Structure 1
């Protein structure tokens, strides 16, 4: 609806539809003010003039003006015309809601389990058992370190499945790995740790998280034997020893011994991120590095790969010297995982349901990895051991490039990641990281076929 008021100095197109009523009129005037079509400080049409032009009751316009004045868009004064508020007095525009992440049609994003395989019935049964027998007092404010039942269960589980030296008194339960890493970084920084080394390549998100909490971040090269210690000189280092992310290699025995010996001699702290240690396919699982030096190695685990990231359940097994500082850091953060989820996970592990789910998942993911490898063209070179939820593919110098492969995948609505963003410096080899765990079982064949087609499209 086009309206013009020469007497007020405003000549605007007010996008108002009569059927929207008073609410719609108020929204249209707000928009005109925010857009600058009703200039700051300008006199607005009188209620009589605007009502006549719009064909509405004068009382309607009066109420709209009163509402907008109360909100700060208009200012009124006795015996003076109503005006648009000055620029500095206008209310801030409300933030637009963040766009929801839309999953790609073909989901090959790394680091994600098949959420459709979540053991819902087993989780529900464990929840019911917990609710039937848990004392009401257990639903109060939990221990800062986590529910004692879960810490007791984790101590047994981690000892038998990963070889971790895990006294329940040294276990702290966190809201996933990011929360654990944040708190540990703050504790270490408070103890004078001003530098943390990360494997190069590694996940940028975690490097940024550490840097945001004080220490500077440096890189340590990774080769076929894992992290190269020749230039390692930081008071703390983060490693993915069982299955390096994203290159997929395992820290060799001589490097494991050297790393823990170095930590003992230098007093450094090693954070072992055992993000997918349950999923080793080709051999007996490699035990945790932590067992070699429990007082120098912090062990980190999570259910984000075995069950679901949304549960926000992770844990650290700490050296004794860090238990009380971590307790204080948790209190300061004010963030703890829900007690009911902790108790349910403990019941799921104790009942054997967790192990059964991990075994089923291990079989499925191994099959997917084998099928993906069998379908790949010779133009790419797979890296890493047979384990985990992802496969890193190196690209040849003569093409296709990482940029070309990612663009071809986007055209087919395939979600995966490029390798270059994982390096801490420029000029490194390109590649793609394919997550074979994320797709639902029925969709994996289609996702694989779409990816192979994308590769062939850009292959010279």
Structure 2
């Protein structure tokens, strides 16, 4: 006889304890059926402990619960537990139940270290760009919003829901984006997605199906964005970047380009805002060619020198797709982002999203909707803006004192700065940082394969940091590690 999962019984008796999977292979020899069952149960428990399925400290079901699950007498289970306690397999204490005893694990020889003269240290500090200070996540306020959202959620909210996302979140976002970012955002135009990369993947699929062959990207940016667009079947020519942002006047040079991906509020990673003339040129190009602008507003709320630059989408909502995300303002682990689409794209993007059945958690959507509607989101953004501005000021001050030969640019907004280096020193500095336990990225890491090392714009305005430079994410370390990360950075700079 083989017993599989001991499921909760349906006899009407109180259900207690945890499920426990045991393999009882036949009846062990004994003077009677009870002795045979007890020995079989003991063997099954020993085997579960030996193989590691029951780890030390695991609490076992009560004798009453396990007996009911297995269909045997409670005394049989109690006797088996008692004998295994005596043998040292289990422990039993009043108030804490019966648990698997802490047994000595066999020692395994540690792997020999590689035979090298020196071993590179694992990163102790991280100044990698792209991540907020996760220690600043507003746990208490988020929990309060989650409780309110859960208590007021309609029953149908626990179904799969529609592909566009919960109407509560789309409505809250429409109000917030119009007020804070200057976006024309009707709830019917908004589609919720699982991160900005997911949104970009959907847009790439839709554009390719529409016959678009090439989607221009800025000459400095994230390679994962370029790669997923290439996987969608699109060519990704580089649009040069200089001190005024992307050179949008050159979009017309490639007749196959039907769309462009840009970061106009805060170019990533050089840190420049797109010049007003170039914003207008981009919209003029889109209107003249029936093209589309994909606006990645990844950290638009965090402007330090003045009010945040308004979204490009406000200039022409039918020619611009606005991409926003909670990854920088709250945390990337939430996997919540949104697209504000031209009317003609809503149905196509929604259909593409439904085809891959990739829907963000309903409860997370409802929580974010409540978080925004209650004003907690605005308060959190203002608080983090002050925190990041202090970090930026501390970075600039420390570099001015300890590395006066380097120049810091791209500091008007965002969560990172560009530290310009003497020619030929970027790679040695990045390697020296790694040896010192500091993770940091060089500007070269973000350069488009076809882009030159130091593009020049109108009037010879070079992109800040477009040659040798570090892209320093000053938001990444928690407060406890910030001073150490800053000190490690200053030590490796020339």
Q: Distance in 1 between matches of 2:207 and 2:489?
A: 43
Aligned pair partner of 1:140 in 159, 162, 180: 159
Q: Distance in 2 between matches of 1:114 and 1:230?
A: 37
Q: Could you say what secondary structure the match of 2:249 adopts?
A: coil
What pairs with 1:334-413 in structure 2 (closer than 5 Å)? 334-376=357-399, 377-397=403-423, 399=424, 401-413=425-437
Aligned pair partner of 1:124 in 121, 140, 143: 143
What pairs with 1:42-441 in structure 2 (closer than 5 Å)? 104-233=123-252, 234-376=257-399, 377-397=403-423, 399=424, 401-424=425-448, 425=450, 428=453, 429-441=467-479
Q: Distance in 2 between matches of 1:328 and 1:177?
A: 18
Q: Could you say what secondary structure the match of 1:230 adopts?
A: helix
Q: 1:273 to 1:210 in 2, by over 3 A?
A: same
Q: Is the 8 A contact 1:221 1:227 kept in 2?
A: yes
Q: 1:385 to 1:258 in 2, by over 3 A?
A: farther
Q: Distance in 2 between matches of 1:104 and 1:238?
A: 33
Q: Distance in 2 between matches of 1:253 and 1:194?
A: 28
Q: Could you say what secondary structure the match of 1:232 adopts?
A: helix
Once the two structures are superposed, residues 174-229 of structure 1 have per-residue CA deviations (whole angstroms, 9 ceiling, x without a partner) of 00000000001000110011101001111111111111111011001011111112
Show structure 1 runs of 5+ residues with no match. 1-19, 25-101
Q: Distance in 2 between matches of 1:226 and 1:386?
A: 14
Once the two structures are superposed, residues 62-118 of structure 1 have per-residue CA deviations (whole angstroms, 9 ceiling, x without a partner) of xxxxxxxxxxxxxxxxxxxxxxxxxxxxxxxxxxxxxxxx98311111010010110
Post-superposition offset of 1:351 = 0.8
Post-superposition offset of 1:426 = 6.3
Q: Distance in 2 between matches of 1:264 and 1:383?
A: 33
Match in the other structure for 2:16: none
Q: Distance in 1 between matches of 2:224 and 2:469?
A: 19
Q: What TM-score comes out, normalization by structure 2 length?
A: 0.70
Q: Is the 8 A contact 1:250 1:385 kept in 2?
A: no
Show structure 2 runs of 5+ residues with no match. 1-46, 52-120, 454-466
Q: Say how many residue pairs are matched.
A: 357
Once the two structures are superposed, residues 19-49 of structure 1 have per-residue CA deviations (whole angstroms, 9 ceiling, x without a partner) of x9xx99xxxxxxxxxxxxxxxxxxxxxxxxx
Q: Distance in 1 between matches of 2:360 and 2:258?
A: 29
Q: Is the 8 A contact 2:436 2:488 kept in 1?
A: yes
Q: What TM-score comes out, normalization by structure 1 length?
A: 0.75
More displaced stretch, 115-124 vs 418-427: 418-427
Q: Is the 8 A contact 2:294 2:321 kept in 1?
A: yes
Structure 1 segments of 4+ aligned residues over 4 angstroms from their partners: none
Q: Could you say what secondary structure the match of 1:336 adopts?
A: coil
Q: 1:395 to 1:196 in 2, by over 3 A?
A: same
Root-mean-square deviation over aligned CA pairs: 1.7
